[in-house]
Structure 1
């Protein structure tokens, strides 16, 4: 156990050292939030992957496949497909407009303070919804890897608090530049761990087609707590309740409507994730932003293929070895893991012993730390830049603005840790295929309902107005949160799967309200200039800048003539 803690300490110290050593030397919000807009395409793509491939991707996708078979692949499909609308509709125009953050972009595009403040609130809600499952995953990893707590805390609570505190310090010290390089390196290490485990599993004789066929010979069943003990409970076939569910067939978790709703929620939600979209503001140009997305799509495809393969391998290998390996008795019922998020961790220990478990645990913590870093930085940007500098203290010095951002990092980190401590993964394992992936999906739902429709309309429809966007964001958020809450409370009733992933309802509601209110209000007066910034060529933007400078010069000469 001591060696486990030493390994984690070395990891945290190495990550923190990189962040501090390459932190910006000039104390400015431009460097802290945007790294001077000097991040290259491949580096930014790897950093976005480090941001995006969170615990939900590293542990959650494999866990969802482990628990529900083919239906778990919808998570991988939706997560990977999420960057297609970003590539087609958002990345380049948003970067060409050139602001600090999502609220800054919307506030300036629509010339509205109310939109800026509304979007700050929405952004913070999304960040919290995304932060909590990352902290939950760190607690699960510590609990299995280390096995005991510090200072009288439970192992789960220790993992939550240590990971949150460590990454909070890294972000506060390193800013965007330090965070970018650490996230890029973390992603490459994460991918290397996946590749290693896949090679080891396949080298041991695992065959994906054979495993799926073998696992589908018997109906799908998962552990369920009943009274003081555990027992295997058959999984209901959501496509045909009168027939059993099988690992290699759809229906293990979602019906037709649920499958479609999940993919739409994940695909639309990506375009509204603050920690991902803020990275595009660091690209040098709009073209660089678009090429970055192409790289991300390629890397995402590789990553999720490996996640699906390993989730399937875990279901097959752990079941076959549960009767031979004594320590699996504490984690399984009938050869099936009680907590699906343990799948990759246990697979690592089976094939690599304690060192293999340590490597997978390190990968899980890397995924958690990397994503938490991006989320905290996005939170700092929206509070420090969009609220403190714009409204609370417009005459703030660069030093004051930086400290406001760092204070926001600390507050949001503490709040997310407190919320994560209230989650009990084992008690929720029977309700969802992966509690981590499911909780992250709720963040995607909120982002895809409140922000993505407004993004697309603001970028591509000239008639979008500030009041319309604010009303649309509020409507999308209220409908999404209300339906998700109803889904948790009444998940087994009728349309429960739609209630848990309601973007196909809440996003159109937000879009319709945005359009209706915009038609009744006036768009910004400088709309032609805004449109050139969004969609014009480099030559168009230079001509616009030259014309603006010329008009300023003429105005000054007229003033001097008086």
Structure 2
């Protein structure tokens, strides 16, 4: 255990808790707790979205995937970054103009259906759980490498899972969206600074990689050539799954409801695209550097022998922390490991808040206790936050990395891909159709969500029983098949059922100009006055 590394870790926890205490909401309204009063500026929100989105899968997983599979692993960076293009073009501004609390609330109100809202809540919870667990796994892996000791009889891995999840659960429960927003903004800046420092150190030292790097398989993996890990179909399927999944991620899309206007939401997305593009470029660079630097460093750093076999890391997610220790000794390890925990905790914060919004607002306020006071609704949201955190931590402890063989290069990246697959297959098609096709109906959306989500789950579960092949690659990243199925089912059923009567008003609300929306509001006021007279 490194004293410098532990001090760095404790400093991160102090900053996180301090920011939450300073920025905690002064009011007990649901708008303040879930949406930060809808007053989050463009720059702050873009940093917060990056902190929300750049999870342990991005910081540890992308570099690990590139470290294991070279150019094939770089498809993760392409897919993750590309996900904000459809958000920018099709979703961000109309979604904010409609102005609800969550994706489930948007679909329920847009299609005027409680069944759609409740089904959306179920799908959202599946996505959140699939995303939460790998973040907790990332926290456990990092603690195990950084501290190496457990508490209260727990293993180092289990201790890391429980501590990182517990700290951020408390932050969200008491800080709400306002505290979470500022935490995520600060955490992104720290995360990016750590990666930038590492990139500067590696570049100053110089690195190279050969055409062929041996790994523990019967045949060598061609590190510099695509196709060694995935065939052409697998590459396309992976990028499509990650790119389409972003628009259905509840913790990311809920942040757009905190923007003051639709234009602010679109501008925020432009900032996000630039920031995450730079981040993923650096992550790919670091994964590539690790393949050269780590094998050459074993002779000079005896501690690497415990982490490697023939110069190759046993756990690919250790690539960045190990680089940090090589170039910055214990302080460098502490900085990079703290950044990894920041990435995990920042995303966990957004996920827990999204879970609280769906259960507390969409279920408790609307169905269990419609007459709830603001304090009761906020209390329900805080309670569901703690329950979701406990469930994710329990599953992460059970899914120890050494007991699970991923279908893809990185365990953390594999598990996050499940979340993207469900979101991109069940939620994204229905959300986009609801925004841009006025004939979308509640029945169509309901059957589309179930068809797309069910197909995605069935496909990636089946992939777990297959040997490596093109078919397995397709099933492990199923959105290429499941999303078109969801669109087809939604369109066919919608054409045979009736759209909501308020579609004209809804359309102006989402797509009209400011003058159009003002005219619509004045028209509704005139109708009400005539009705009263």
TM-score, normalising length: structure 2: 0.98
* Matches for 1:511-530 after TM superposition, within 5 Å: 511-530=487-506
1:187/1:379 Cα in 2 relative to 1: closer, same or farther (>3 Å)?
Answer: same
The reply to whether residue 276 of structure 1 matches residue 252 of structure 2 is yes
TM-superposition CA deviations, 1:335-392 (whole Å, max 9, x none)? 0001100000100000010100000010000001100000000000000000000000
The reply to whether residue 432 of structure 1 matches residue 427 of structure 2 is no
TM-superposition CA deviations, 1:140-177 (whole Å, max 9, x none)? 00000000101100000000000110000000010001
The reply to whether residue 480 of structure 1 matches residue 475 of structure 2 is no
TM-superposition CA deviations, 1:234-259 (whole Å, max 9, x none)? 45xxxxxxxx5311100121100000
> How far off is 1:263 after superposition?
0.2
> How far off is 1:321 after superposition?
1.3
1:301/1:494 Cα in 2 relative to 1: closer, same or farther (>3 Å)?
Answer: closer
Distance in 2 between the 1:389 and 1:302 partners?
Answer: 41
Instruction: Tell me if structure 2 keeps the 8 A contact 1:200–1:351.
Output: yes
Instruction: Tell me if structure 1 keeps the 8 A contact 2:47–2:184.
Output: yes
The residue matched to 2:153 in structure 1 has which SS? coil
* Equivalent residue number for residue 239 of structure 1: none
1:431/1:274 Cα in 2 relative to 1: closer, same or farther (>3 Å)?
Answer: closer
Distance in 1 between the 2:406 and 2:481 partners?
Answer: 27
Distance in 2 between the 1:42 and 1:413 partners?
Answer: 29
Aligned residues between the structures: 532
The correspondence for 1:458, drawn from 406, 430, 434, is: 434
The correspondence for 2:314, drawn from 335, 338, 353, is: 338
* Equivalent residue number for residue 379 of structure 1: 355
* Equivalent residue number for residue 104 of structure 1: 105
* Equivalent residue number for residue 370 of structure 1: 346
Distance in 2 between the 1:112 and 1:22 partners?
Answer: 36
* Equivalent residue number for residue 405 of structure 1: 381
1:310/1:30 Cα in 2 relative to 1: closer, same or farther (>3 Å)?
Answer: same
The residue matched to 2:464 in structure 1 has which SS? helix
Distance in 1 between the 2:267 and 2:467 partners?
Answer: 41
The correspondence for 1:540, drawn from 516, 522, 532, is: 516
Distance in 1 between the 2:506 and 2:333 partners?
Answer: 53
The reply to whether residue 390 of structure 1 matches residue 366 of structure 2 is yes
Distance in 1 between the 2:451 and 2:494 partners?
Answer: 14
Distance in 2 between the 1:51 and 1:195 partners?
Answer: 19
1:23/1:491 Cα in 2 relative to 1: closer, same or farther (>3 Å)?
Answer: farther
The reply to whether residue 215 of structure 1 matches residue 210 of structure 2 is yes
Distance in 1 between the 2:256 and 2:262 partners?
Answer: 9
Distance in 2 between the 1:137 and 1:461 partners?
Answer: 40
Instruction: Tell me if structure 2 keeps the 8 A contact 1:323–1:335.
Output: no
Instruction: Tell me if structure 2 keeps the 8 A contact 1:339–1:429.
Output: no
Distance in 2 between the 1:233 and 1:467 partners?
Answer: 49
The residue matched to 1:495 in structure 2 has which SS? helix
The residue matched to 1:490 in structure 2 has which SS? coil
* Matches for 1:21-100 after TM superposition, within 5 Å: 21-100=22-101
Distance in 2 between the 1:73 and 1:37 partners?
Answer: 36
Instruction: Tell me if structure 2 keeps the 8 A contact 1:89–1:456.
Output: yes
The correspondence for 2:294, drawn from 297, 315, 318, is: 318
> How far off is 1:431 after superposition?
5.1
Distance in 2 between the 1:252 and 1:187 partners?
Answer: 33
> How far off is 1:233 after superposition?
2.1
> How far off is 1:5 after superposition?
3.5
Instruction: Tell me if structure 1 keeps the 8 A contact 2:352–2:388.
Output: yes
Distance in 2 between the 1:202 and 1:387 partners?
Answer: 51
The residue matched to 1:394 in structure 2 has which SS? coil
> How far off is 1:490 after superposition?
1.4
Distance in 2 between the 1:432 and 1:279 partners?
Answer: 29
Distance in 2 between the 1:300 and 1:317 partners?
Answer: 25
The residue matched to 2:217 in structure 1 has which SS? strand
* Matches for 1:470-509 after TM superposition, within 5 Å: 470-492=446-468, 495-509=471-485
* Equivalent residue number for residue 217 of structure 2: 233
Distance in 1 between the 2:387 and 2:404 partners?
Answer: 27
Distance in 1 between the 2:108 and 2:354 partners?
Answer: 16
Distance in 2 between the 1:130 and 1:312 partners?
Answer: 26
Listed as ranges, the gaps of 5+ residues in structure 1 are 223-231, 236-243, 558-562
1:466/1:430 Cα in 2 relative to 1: closer, same or farther (>3 Å)?
Answer: closer
Distance in 2 between the 1:130 and 1:387 partners?
Answer: 21
**Please, what is the CA RMSD of the aligned residues?**
1.2
Listed as ranges, the gaps of 5+ residues in structure 2 are none
* Equivalent residue number for residue 139 of structure 1: 140
TM-score, normalising length: structure 1: 0.93
